[in-house]
Homo-oligomer: A and B are copies of this chain.
Amino acid sequence: MTETMLAAYFTEDNSPLEIRETAIPQPGKGEVLVKMESCGVCHTDVHFWKGEDELPRPKPAILGHEGVGSIVAVGDGVELTAGERVGVGFVYSACGNCRECRKGLETYCQNSQATGVHVDGCFAQYIVAPADWVTHIPGELSSEEACPLLCAGVTAFSAVRKANIEPGSVVVIFGLGGLGQYAIQFAKLFGAKVIGIDLDPKKLETAKRLGAHAAYAPGEEAEKAIHELGGADALLSFAPSPQVFRNMFTLAAPTARFIQVALPNNPFTFKAAELIDLGITIIGSADGTRLERDQVMQLAKDGLVHSNVETMEFSNINEAFRRLDAGEADGRLVVQF
């Protein structure tokens, strides 16, 4: 193993990441060293880079939390072995022992760390990660396909799981980009009749190709069609607009569930009567558990969920950031090492 590696350092808001040589980290007890093969670029990375979110540690820092590669070394007490392919997702580690962890709410662990946020991330040729927190990648999946599943995929899956869908449920999905496209596929796997809503006509076509029963721009046509189906049993928002939240009330069937994933800054408003008259349930959802990561990988392995991925060279990572920020990416962008 060479003793240095290349890593992309975030040094200053909005400045190009700098690819530098640095020492390869070494795995401690319970840790593995992973040689990265590919890593997805996520809006979360871009938000930090643009200074829209503040990184809770000093720069320079390595971002990236959708990394897939092979184990090349392991610390003491690790049962995984060199050669196994694993993913490193957004939650880098949780304590396994606090009240939230004991409740199975590991994503709410008060002692958890996020990859690229609290510790160096996957935009580097090597990363050390806790053996208990890496995700097994089935052999049938390419590394680049697996990357966005670790973050966008599992976030969409967790949201859909919270929606209490059963075969025949009418499910409306707002925002048909990366997460929304995953959500369509997952909702279909639960047997739902899926309606997609987006302003972009191209995305409406994509939604139908992915199995949506119908797809509409927001407006009267959508409303009429959904009312004819008896209203929506579940509504999931991946579109960062408070207006979408208002539209949910218009389309809901009694006791509908709203699952909120998008994070617009502008506040949401509603009146108590809107909530109570229909017995609405509103749920906030983010990320997913290790179990959900495993489930997503199994579904992808079985060919039941597909990723729309475009690959770029690691050396072009700044171009990847630029394109994602400019909305010039059609699918998920993944850099390859």
A interface residue numbers (CB < 8 A to B): 29, 96-97, 99-100, 102-105, 107-108, 131-132, 161, 166-168, 186, 189-191, 193, 230, 254-255, 260-265, 267-286, 289-291, 294-295, 298-299, 302, 304
Contact = CB atoms under 8 A, between A and B. Distances in A.
Nearest to A185: B167
A166 to B, nearest CB: 7
Given A284-B276, A284-B280, A304-B167, A99 B230 contact: yes
A94 to B, nearest CB: 10
A133 to B, nearest CB: 8
Given A283-B281, A284-B277, A269 B268 contact: yes
13 contacts: A96-B132, A97-B131, A102-B289, A103-B255, A168-B299, A191-B299, A263-B273, A268-B271, A276-B284, A280-B284, A281-B281, A281-B282, A282-B283
Contact of A269 (B99, B269, B283, B286): B269
A269 to B, nearest CB: 5
A189 B167 contact: yes
A193 B302 contact: yes
B272 A277 contact: no
A160 B114 CA distance: 36
Contacts of A265: 271
Nearest to A271: B267
Contacts of A294: 99, 102
A254 to B, nearest CB: 4
Contact of A167 (B97, B262, B299): B299
B102 A279 contact: no
How many copies are assembled? 4
Contacts of A168: 295, 298-299, 302
A166 B190 contact: yes
A166 B295 CA distance: 10
Contacts of A107: 279
B263 A276 contact: yes
A275 B299 contact: no
A86 to B, nearest CB: 12
A167 B190 CA distance: 6
A189 B166 CA distance: 8
Nearest to A289: B102
A191 B255 CA distance: 24
B278 A108 contact: yes
Contact of A268 (B108, B262, B272, B298): B272
A271 to B, nearest CB: 5
B268 A102 contact: no
Contact of A279 (B132, B286, B295, B302): B286
Contacts of A102: 289-291, 294
Given A166-B190, A268-B269, 6 more contacts: A103-B291, A104-B291, A168-B295, A263-B272, A275-B283, A276-B284
